[in-house]
Amino acid sequence: YIKQVALIVYLAHLGSCVPAERATIGLHDQIATRIRSFESVSLPQSSFFIDCSQVAFAMRHASDRSLLLLDEFGKGTNDADGMS
């Protein structure tokens, strides 16, 4: 569902048809996504730390007109998972 929201907003900004009877979509200056994190075995960072770093980067570069899409935040942060 989250990818569909981004695609509908993008299509609306292009002036294309959107799959809805009626839609009110505001102006956005950027669409930023954080769908899943990519882990590295060379860096000793937990999955949660990587997630927080990616979200912090997106929020620092976002404006009041930005669309931020987050999915699976904090997934794999069980103590048994250990370091990534």
Angle at 56 between CA 7 and CA 67, to 5 degrees: 25
Angle at 59 between CA 36 and CA 25, to 5 degrees: 85
Element (H, E) at 66: strand 66-70
pLDDT score, position 20: 87
Residue 55 burial (CB count, 10 A): 17
Q: What is the CA radius of gyration of the chain?
A: 16
**Pairwise pLDDT comparison (66 vs 3), residue with the higher score:** 66
State CA 72 to chain mean position distance.
9
pLDDT score, position 46: 77
What is the rounded distance in angstroms from the CA atom of residue 35 to the CA atom of residue 4? 13
**Pairwise pLDDT comparison (75 vs 60), residue with the higher score:** 60
- pLDDT tens digits, one per residue of 14-72: 999 888 898 888 899 999 887 666 666 777 777 778 888 888 988 999 999 999 988 77
Under the banding of pLDDT at 50, 70 and 90, the label for residue 76 is low
pLDDT score, position 84: 47
Yes or no: say if 69 and 31 are a contact pair by the CB < 8 Å rule. Answer: yes
